[in-house]
Amino acid sequence: MKTLIAAYSGVLRGERRAEAARSKSPKGGSALSREGSGRWGAGSSILSALQDLFSITWLNRSKVEKQLQVISVLQWVLSFLVLGVACSAILMYTFCTDCWLIAVLYFTWLVFDWNTPKKGGRRSQWVRNWAVWRYFRDYFPIQLVKTHNLLTTRNYILGYHPHGIMGLGAFCNFSTEATEVSKKFPGIRPYLATLAGNFRMPVLREYLMSGGICPVNRDTIDYLLSKNGTGNAIIIVVGGAAESLSSMPGKNAVTLRNRKGFVKLALRHGADLVPTYSFGENEVYKQVIFQEGSWGRWVQKKFQKYIGFAPCIFHGRGLFSSDTWGLVPYSKPITTVVGEPITIPKLEYPTQQDIDLYHAMYMEALVKLFDSHKIKFGLPETEVLEVN
């Protein structure tokens, strides 16, 4: 295109010189001069407009991509926060309209499909490969780092730390193919475990299952580790809601010391434990931290105890500007490092001593993983992982 424009410009310059020469001749007259000037003026305007058009298109391409990244992240945040409640309300409203038959058919389907999430759900490679997840990845950006191989002849439980506000790194790395988890761990089927209550929400449950997300309860994990063959990797955000309450920029802390249920499940099925730490997970949102004993922390703990999640008061940036507050997370790098598997024996009835032994091994491996990678990802040598 640039070649054509340059050629066209050369032709116009040639015509201008010819017209100027003719205008100097006795018979040229002022009419020829005005005609040539008119042609040159029109050609110059067209050429200038074309050049401006192409320069503007290429100049704004990066801005368009950035906005697509922001939108891709926002759609997931809104899905995480309100999709289930919104779809439940719409479905109930539909019962009161002329479209009530649609609601009846969906609820009938829901009854027959109720236990599907407990059996691994309905993973969709098409959904996991959506282009929106690549924009999601590039916004932060998010990266998955492999340190050791995972064998298809074994099953695994990956402990993911820290929870952060929403576990954005866990979702992007293990529920989509944006970071190419299937290529980095060929033959391994990752299942990100989340609150079972999410799978009681219409439409949201289908959305979650399509990404390979399953309920984090004993029945589901027992099924996947005993009746789904080998090569399964269940990702459990061990700290859960309690850990999210301490999520804030600059803090590296995990809630793990008294969390031993995942170790017991690993021993019962002989599934290897894999420590996983996500550097930068706590940096993407700012949160109001309530001190122990305050009314705010009391409310959060009551929600955590009876509902399963703790309401956090947090904020990110605005949709159109990073200088305003909003629900869009800050674009801070998130790097998830998958550590070395800890070989676990199969003990149908593990004792408390067995559980404590392998839990201690896991905590030691997690701290070692953190210490060996912290400098690479911008943390000082003196930074210490706080294990609560």
pLDDT tens for each residue of 21-73:
555 544 444 444 444 444 445 555 665 655 554 555 454 788 889 989 999 99
pLDDT tens for each residue of 257-279:
999 999 999 999 999 999 999 99
- Under the banding of pLDDT at 50, 70 and 90, the label for residue 360 is very high
Cβ atoms within 10 Å of 30's Cβ, excluding its own? 8
Looking at 63-153, which runs of residues are DSSP E strands?
142-146
Specify the pTM.
0.82
| C-alpha distances out from residue 342 to 22, 231, 346, 357, Å | 90, 15, 13, 12
pLDDT tens for each residue of 219-239:
999 999 999 999 999 999 999
Average pLDDT (16-20) is: 52
Q: What is the pLDDT of residue 301?
A: 79
Long-range contacts formed by 323-328: CB under 8 A, 24+ apart: 327/74, 327/77, 327/78, 327/81, 328/70, 328/73, 328/74, 328/77
The β-bridge relationship of strands 156-161 and 189-194 is: unpaired
Dihedral in degrees, nearest 10, Cα atoms 311, 133, 282, 322: -90
Q: What is the pLDDT of residue 44?
A: 57
Q: Please give the Cα distance from 309 to 298 (Å, whole number).
A: 13
Is-contact 308 320, C-beta < 8 A? no
- Under the banding of pLDDT at 50, 70 and 90, the label for residue 362 is very high
Q: What is the pLDDT of residue 30?
A: 46
User: What is the percentage of the chain residues whose pLDDT exceeds 70?
Assistant: 84
pLDDT tens for each residue of 115-157:
999 999 999 999 999 999 999 999 999 999 999 999 999 999 9
The β-bridge relationship of strands 386-387 and 286-287 is: unpaired
**Joined tokens for residue 327:** 């629900």
- Buried (b) or exposed (e) across 81-116, using 16+ Cβ within 10 A? eebbebbeeebeebeeeeeeeebeeeeeeeeeeeeb
Mean pLDDT, the chain, rounded, equals 86
- Under the banding of pLDDT at 50, 70 and 90, the label for residue 242 is confident
Angle (deg, nearest 10), helices 29-78 and 131-139:
90
Q: Please give the Cα distance from 381 to 114 (Å, whole number).
A: 49
- Under the banding of pLDDT at 50, 70 and 90, the label for residue 19 is low
Q: What is the pLDDT of residue 41?
A: 52
Q: What is the pLDDT of residue 310?
A: 74
pLDDT tens for each residue of 321-355:
888 899 999 999 999 999 999 999 999 999 999 99
Kindly tell me if the per-residue pLDDT of 12 is higher than 50: no
H helical segments located in 146-288:
168-174, 181-184, 204-210, 218-226, 240-244, 261-269
Kindly tell me if the per-residue pLDDT of 369 is higher than 70: yes
pLDDT tens for each residue of 94-117:
999 999 999 999 999 999 999 999
Kindly tell me if the per-residue pLDDT of 87 is higher than 90: yes
- The better pLDDT of the pair 27, 161 is held by 161
**Rg of the chain, C-alpha, whole Å:** 29
DSSP class of residue 204?
A: H
pLDDT tens for each residue of 167-216:
999 999 999 999 999 999 999 999 999 999 899 999 999 999 999 999 99
First to last CA, the chain: 63
User: What is the percentage of the chain residues whose pLDDT exceeds 90?
Assistant: 70
Kindly tell me if the per-residue pLDDT of 5 is higher than 50: no
Residue with tokens 């407009």: 49
